[in-house]
Amino acid sequence: MTERFDPNDVRIFSGQSHPELAQGIANHLGIPLSKTNFSRFSNDNMFIQLCDSVRGRTVYLVQSLTPPVSDHLLELFMMLDIASSAAAKEVHAIIPYFSYARSDKKNAPRISITARLIADLLHKSGATQVMTMTLHSPQVHGFFSIPTDPLTARGLIASHFQKYQFDPRDTIVIAPDYGRAASASRLAKQLGLPSASAEKTRISDTEVRIGELVVRQLAGFRRVLIYDDEIATGSSVLELCKRLKEGGIQEIFIICTHGLFIGNALEQISKISEVHEIVTTDTVPIPLEKRQQNLTILSVAPVFGEAILLNYTRQSIGNLFAYWEDQFS
């Protein structure tokens, strides 16, 4: 891989949100992770300095939009501006978790479609390209006026579950709502399983209602794989698990790309006796003290590393693209 990569032409830096993932991406590419200095002035203003020259080089800045989101976002804007102002040839924003993707529509008076605003600000700050993973909805991709690659972890997840050799006669993949039905269907197809979708109504940020239709779709099944884009408070998963147990499901696997697990969400989910395994990726760092025995974390560093390499060598990244089967299958 390194013979196609000119180490002197490329720089990769990390924000403070997820340096472990940035290091993993750098290791996959076989290049060093450049140092970045972070500090604050007495008035709480941030000070950031990229410690390697970027002049005339291709620069990759890795930053997930995890809590504290506003601080991490401002860090990213500043790093983009620094690289652009220092005459970098290209400046790529690598955003494994783009949290504002959930703000993708105007569903109340006098609110911001913040996903579009952030997309504009990334461009204004100096990004020439954006790479992210599993956006909350496909239309967010259209908010960006610069080349943007929404990748998928579905291949990693499918590879992990191949070992189980599930029987399609007793195992089904379920999306927690209609918005994730297409993604659940794609994963189910890779695993040779049927799929279905629950009917979810969101009452508040921490409360949802799951319709009874999903229970009627479970006849004959004993095992369910719940597949979602992200789990934050866990309210959707907890309510869906309750419905699945009512339908006689004996074994539950919970899968998500972005495992935020706010508060005690991970602990609550793990306590459900029917939950055999919780599978997520490392787009969001999970502290060691919060990890449960039945939690599996898959690293997306190889996915981003491969996408960066293919992009750098001007090759197609279609196989890593989140929605490519929709257009080409």
Which residues, at least 6 apart from 5, have a Cβ–Cβ distance to it below 8 Å? 29, 30, 31, 309, 312
Q: Which residue among the candidates 105, 124, 200, 290 is catalytic per the annotation? A: 200
- CA distance linking residue 45 with residue 183, whole number of Å: 41
Query: Any idea of the CA torsion for 155, 161, 166, 168, to the nearest 10 degrees?
Result: -30
Burial class (CB in 10 A: 0-12, 13-18, 19+), 229: buried
Whether 116 and 101 have beta carbons less than 8 Å apart is answered as no
Residue 263: CB partners within 8 Å, gap ≥ 6?
233
Provide the residue type at 237 as one letter: V
If DSSP codes are grouped into helix, strand and coil, which group holds residue 278?
strand
Q: Residue holding tokens 């189980």?
A: 164
Q: Is 200 a catalytic residue?
A: yes
Q: Known catalytic residues?
A: 200
